[in-house]
Amino acid sequence: MSPARVPAAPPVARTARQLRESVTAARRRGRADTDTNPLRQGLRLERVPDPCAFVLFGATGDLAHRKVVPAIYQLWRTNLLPVEFSLVAVARRPYTSEAFAAELKASLEKYSRVLPIDEDSWAELAKRITYQQLDFADDAGFDSLGQKLDELDAKCGTAGNRLFYLAVQPSQVTEIVRQLGRVGLDKEVRGAGWRRLIVEKPFGRDLDSARLLNHEVHKVFRESQVYRIDHYLGKETVRNLMVFRFGNGIFEPVWNRSYVDHVQITVAESIGVEARGAFYEETGASRDILQNHLLQLMTLVAMEPPSSFQADALRDQKLQVLRAIAAPDADQVRKNVVRGQYGPGWVQGEPAAGYRQEPEVDPESETETFVAGRFEIDDWRWSGVPFYLRAGKRMPKRATEISIQFKDVPLRLFRESTGDPAPNVLAMRIQPDEGIMLRFAAKVPGLGLDVRTVNMDFAYDTSFVVDSPDAYETLILDSLLGDASLFTRADEVEAAWGVVTPIINAWAEMPPPHFPNYAAGSWGPEAADELLERDGRRWRRI
């Protein structure tokens, strides 16, 4: 055995993942080492994350505190992270590592999905937290970061594996990537560990900026190193959509233009912009939701069966859908896309300010907080089937749902019935109350022949009472394992912008909208209802 070919084994302990916490990991297939390590075959945990340093840029920000760190804590608490793990928190504000860890703990007590905090577990994780003050434009700071990571490799056994998580403003991504490249932190040297980059949405502001961003990122990182997070793809129900479609034989035969009348996808939020007014002013509903969440859900509904669940097989199919959506011209935008902005109103019994009255929002803002559109996919499966997509803030309730509305029966045999049986609907609730509902007609008990629509309802939490992992837990673990299936690829991002950019551009050319045009606590502007009424349809009541 040649010593030169033998990677030095880390001198300190490494953790295995706890069996009973690992049901989700059991579903990970394809990238396992089973081909070469026969002992891994059939284990619930087919892979274990490598030792690594998790470098969190924007560590003092809202996303880091609400989502990323709670997810890391949860993974740590359930032994899903290696012992040789280090969390390097990077931000501009001055902190000591201890003070920052204390602040993270306070956030965990607010945002962790499992409370109370396990003190022993947190103490172990806190020991692995290092804070690095850094101005993203500061060369010396990045030099120092590189040195610190080398020190951590020696001290914590992180083996040169580094995950860079950019929980920062979109405008800062390019600069950080450039700096990482400048100090060589992107370089994967054989035997010296992997380097991965997680980028949060939005990936650009339009097609050109997305291309530019991809170009800048690719100057430093290869595409295989880049993990673009759309956290919707990490949600259990979204992942279950694939199982539902491709793990059951009875739905796929009717999943096409011959049987489906239309598809509705709704992403409704009851909250406003909260403390993110400045961010939202730069994005709006089209960039914040339509370009990513809504179009991603649409691709999962519409894609052809992939040949496997390998990352690229899956993403190739999604890409085909995006490329089959015709980019709308200005007339089509005017006809098929509706934008809105909420004014003052009442949401869930509480008064709610209008968008223009929110903090950090321009009192004359033209940013849309609601978008709805009618899209078509020009392929053999879906030609002629409209997909109605809508997303909005300050809706009456928080709800994300996909509903497949089937065609009516060819002959109404029960027209004398007092009830008018509605067409079948298959609805997949993404949040809250995750589940699947099938609506069909049934005879009302009695001597007559009355027909009424009934729901057959499957609720996740009645069959699986176990907690689902948060999407960020799933996605962070996947990125540590090098599984990119649930992350969006550069070409996917650009194809999605290819659909949304013409809409944004057309709006820019139109006269200023009459905002606000819907009251907080309503389902959006009337024009959104008219969008469907024109086709003889209406939005599902959610």
Partner 1 sequence: MPARPVAHSVPEIEDQLGKLWERAAVARAEAAKAEAALVAAQAEAAARAASALATARDTSDGGGSHVAARTSVLNLVVVAGDEQAAQKCAAIIMATATRHASRSLILSAVDPSGPAGLEARIEALSMATAGGRAETGAETIYVTAHGETGAHFASIIVPLLVHDLPVALWWPADPPFGSRRADRLLPIADRLIVDGSAWSGDGLGILAQLAAAVEERRVVVADWALLRQARWREAIASVYDLPDLRPHLGAVRRISVDYAPEGQGDAVWETNVVRPLYHVAWLASRLGMTVAKPIRRESAGRRVATLRQKEHEVAVVLRPAGSDLGPGSTVRVEITSRFRGAELVGSITADDHTVEVSIRDDGRERVRRSYAAPRLTDVDLLALAVEEGAADPIAVHALATAHRLLGVESDAHKTPDRHRSQDYD
Residues noted as catalytic: 293
Contacts (CB under 8 A) with partner 1, residues 470-499: none
Residue 369 beta carbon to partner 1: minimum distance, rounded to whole angstroms? 16
* Minimum CB distance to partner 1, residue 269 (Å): 14
Region binding partner 1 by CB under 8 A among candidate stretches 64-72, 141-149, 341-349, 509-517: 341-349
- Indicate whether 359 belongs to the interface with partner 1 (CB under 8 A): no
Q: How far is CA 87 from the centre of its chain?
A: 23
Minimum CB distance to partner 1, residue 66 (Å): 19
C-alpha 59/C-alpha 168 separation (Å) is 8
Instruction: State the minimum distance, in angstroms, from the CB of residue 472 to partner 1.
Output: 18
Q: CA-to-CA distance for 521 and 531, rounded, in angstroms?
A: 20
Question: Does residue 305 touch partner 1 according to CB under 8 A?
Answer: no
Asked if 495 contacts 343 with a C-beta cutoff of 8 angstroms, the reply is no
| Binding-site member from 70, 193, 272, 345 for partner 1 (CB under 8 A) | 345
User: Is residue 260 within 8 Å of 407, Cβ to Cβ?
Assistant: yes
**Is residue 523 a contact residue for partner 1 (CB under 8 A)?**
yes
Residue 14 interacting with partner 1 (CB under 8 A): yes
* C-beta closer to partner 1: residue 117 or 437: 437
332 to 30, 328, 336, 502: CA distances (angstroms)? 42, 5, 6, 10
Binding mask 120-149 for partner 1 (x = CB under 8 A): ------------------------------
Q: Which amino acid is at 403?
A: S
CA distance 198 to 183: 18
Kindly report the three-state secondary structure assignment for every residue of 462-491.
Answer: HHCCCCCCCHHHHHHHHHHHCCCCCCECHH
Structure tokens at 339: 């934008």
Of 155, 238, 149, 154, which is closest to residue 195 (Cα–Cα)?
149
Can residue 15 be called a binding residue for partner 1 (CB under 8 A)? yes
348 binds partner 1, rule: CB under 8 A: yes
Select 216 or 526, whichever has its Cβ closest to partner 1: 526
State the binding string over 33-52 for partner 1 (x if CB under 8 A, else -): x--xxxxxxxxxx--x----
Q: Per CB under 8 A, does 6 bind partner 1? A: yes
- C-alpha 227/C-alpha 231 separation (Å) is 11
The torsion angle over the Cα atoms of residues 96, 99, 104 and 108, rounded to 10 degrees, is 160
Task: Give the residues lining the site for partner 1 (CB under 8 A).
Answer: 1, 5-7, 9-11, 13-20, 23, 33, 36-45, 48, 79, 83, 345-350, 396-397, 432-433, 455, 457, 459, 461-467, 519, 521-523, 540-542
